[in-house]
Amino acid sequence: MSEPRLRDGRSWRFDAPVVACVFDGDGSTAFALGDGTLRIIAPDASEPRTVEAHNGAVLALAFHPEGGFISGGDDGRLVHTRETGDTNELAREKGRWIENVTASVETGLIAYTAGKSAVILHGNESTTFQHTSTAAGVAFDPKGRRLAVAHYDGSSLWWAKAADQQPKLLKWKGSHLGVTWSPDGRFLVTTMQENALHGWRLEDAADMRMSGYPAKVKSFVWDRRGRMLFTSGSSRVIGWPFSGRGGPMGREPLELGPERDALVQMVAAHPEADIIAAGTSDGAVWLETIGDPGAEFVLLDAGKISTLVFSPGGANLAIGTEDGFAAVAPVAQR
Amino acid sequence: MSQVPVTVLTGYLGAGKTTLLNRILTEQHGKRFAVIVNEFGEIGIDNDLIVDTDEEIFEMNNGCICCTVRGDLIRILGGLMKRKDKFDAILIETTGLADPSPVVQTFFVDDDVKEKTKLDSVTTVVDAKNVLARLKDTNEAAEQIAFADQIILNKTDLVSADELAKIERRIRELNPLAPIHRTERCAIDLDKVLGRHAFDLSRILDLDPDFLSADAHDHEHNSDIASVSLTASKPLDGDKVTAWLRNLLAQKGQSILRSKGILDIKNREERMAFQAVHMVMEGDFQRRWKDDEKRVSRIVFIGRGLDEPELRHGFAACVA
């Protein structure tokens, strides 16, 4: 195996796959690993702090609205870890895996999935929403008041705080895995078991099918203006326009980045510039400005990229791989 | 990265799947397994991992009408691959009433599953005492036998030698290819159960034409699952036989459960091997024919309501 070549920045080699990475508001970075630990890197520290958060693998990671990180694991636990390394169990699902975690900055709500349930935590209380098949993905709407759950044959929309409700069901045949709301709240988009995305315009539940990918789409991200949805699943980054009323219907997707033999696995969007980052199946990470072709390579030969995320101000890019390589690379101003 | 081998354990209710799992898990073998089960029964756990799941069978919108997969398995296998501790093998126990196709197809349809894991065999546990009755009153028992790459014929101590011979004949009608291991209380060497490479094209068992032609056609039973074996001693036209198989599986793949073959293609020094689960087929040129090897093409179809004359005719038309 060739050695990873990182252009600039700090890097670490862990002995378990990196599952996810999240920056919290204070500039700390957490890498979640397949050995159940979080490795937390303070802004100016060179060595990570290791926190034994789970007995098994970490499966999901998000920031905590009050600071620190929330992780879900195959031990059925949802854990809040602070930058100091203190941990606090938020929930426990016996015999089940917690595979998705998300939180809303707007309302401070936290949501996770375990089997067919999606659970919202507010303070010490929780509300559980049941589905007829596995809750494969969850996302809060931009205001943090509604939760979308992706499952078999569609998605369900739940009001975060209403008791005794029926969900609004958005139907489309097939297995829906990941889910995201457009930042203006007008569209909901899912990744599917097939090599396609599915979208709904929420005002009238009109269907939008986005297909043509050579591989399953595992990662998607909205650009900072919320007009384009950039995705993995092809040798280049594919971007779907969502600016008009019809979203991507009848419009050509944008293709970004170099044409290479490897597939794009993960995508990330710079929060303050028109820059998209992509991580590939052969361990490369590149940056490209939207509308200005010419990729800048940040990393090569690191193994399949499993997580990729910009820091809140966009000054850094965190990278993790299936081989256990992790890095925080500075992003030059353009 | 090496792929983790996966063994699928099927068998009708009460056949002895859990007994077999317990034997595998408690034996001193120094291996680490992950076991995916549907009913969290009395399974011994040491350093192995048990994952409890609900079978979630999904249809794929890929134009293949019979293509169903296990969505829960895709997620669980993906999750297991994130763990630091790797597994020597993964065992999947299906429910007693399950049709084995969705679990098997999962390994051919999902790219992530294909990349990280590899189906080793479908192993079916059969209860010698009750199998003939189950074959009469259920469809699943016959399907599970027909799908098998190997059969563990259990509880042989509860039947006479004559009955056992009759049971084996009946199993052979449903599945002429799978080796049968006779056991009592599922006592069998682990090495015989695992590491079969049943789906490895380069190791597709050498289909024995003599054995196949001895295949008895005894239609006294009411299950309509049977096998058809075809051979050709003249070389085949590669394009014709590929097109024929593609069409056949596209049209009849719902009723053809499994097919396997080794083909002698005109102007090629390598054997072509293929195998299919319903409509999902994979095939490739493998090793060269050996000098002392008889160059004969052999195909076996196992399925429901197979039209033998039509299959024979279609195959014969592929001779170059």
State percent of chain B over pLDDT 90: 62
Q: Do B75 and A95 touch (CB under 8 A)?
A: no
Report whether A182 contacts A189 (CB < 8 A).
yes
- Residue of B58, B83, B110, B115 to mutate for A, most A C-beta atoms under 10 A: B83
Instruction: List the alpha helices (DSSP H) in chain B.
Output: 17-26, 71-80, 101-109, 111-116, 131-137, 140-147, 161-174, 190-193, 209-213, 238-252, 308-316
Q: Residues B201-215, buried b or exposed e (16+ Cβ, 10 A)? A: beebeebebeebeee
What confidence tens digit (pLDDT) does each residue in B295-311 have?
999 999 999 999 999 99
Of A56, A175, A193, the CB nearest to B83: A56
Distance from CA of A16 to the nearest CA of B (A): 5
- In the predicted model, what is the mean pLDDT of residues A251-264? 95
Confidence of residue B206 (pLDDT cuts 50, 70, 90): low
Report whether B61 contacts A174 (CB < 8 A).
yes
Q: Distance between CA atoms of B219 and B305, rounded to whole angstroms?
A: 12
Q: Do B56 and A134 touch (CB under 8 A)?
A: yes
State percent of chain A over pLDDT 70: 99
The pLDDT assigned to A258 comes to 96
What confidence tens digit (pLDDT) does each residue in B14-44 have?
899 989 988 888 887 788 999 998 866 556 5
| Secondary structure (3-state) at B166 | helix
What confidence tens digit (pLDDT) does each residue in B106-136 have?
999 899 999 999 999 999 999 999 999 999 8
Expressed in angstroms, the distance from the first to the final Cα of chain A is 33
Provide the 8-state DSSP code for B171: H
Chain B residues whose beta carbon lies within 8 Å of the beta carbon of residue A193: 58, 60, 69, 71, 74, 110
Chain A residue closest in CA terms to B50: A95
Of B59, B75, B111, the CB nearest to A134: B75
On the question of pLDDT at B222 being above 60, the answer is no
Of A15, A74, A136, the CB nearest to B79: A74
On the question of pLDDT at B167 being above 70, the answer is yes
On the question of pLDDT at B48 being above 90, the answer is no
Q: Do B58 and A99 touch (CB under 8 A)?
A: no
Chain B residues whose beta carbon lies within 8 Å of the beta carbon of residue A15: 84
Strands B33-37 and A69-73: unpaired
Q: Do B71 and A152 touch (CB under 8 A)?
A: yes
- In the predicted model, what is the mean pLDDT of residues A133-161? 97
CA dihedral A57→B72→B91→B9, nearest 10 degrees, is 170
What confidence tens digit (pLDDT) does each residue in A186-210 have?
999 999 999 999 999 999 999 999 9
**Predicted model pTM:** 0.92
- Residue of B57, B76, B82, B85 to mutate for A, most A C-beta atoms under 10 A: B82
Chain B residue closest in CA terms to A195: B62
B93 touches chain A (CB under 8 A): no
The pLDDT assigned to A145 comes to 96
| Contacting residues for A48 by C-beta, under 8 A, at least 6 apart | A12, A31, A39, A40, A41
The pLDDT assigned to B215 comes to 47
Higher pLDDT among residues B138 and B152, named by residue: B152
The pLDDT assigned to B40 comes to 61
On the question of pLDDT at B218 being above 60, the answer is no
The pLDDT assigned to B210 comes to 47
Instruction: List the alpha helices (DSSP H) in chain A.
Output: none
Q: Distance between CA atoms of B98 and A79, rounded to whole angstroms?
A: 37
The pLDDT assigned to B220 comes to 46
Distance from CA of A17 to the nearest CA of B (A): 6
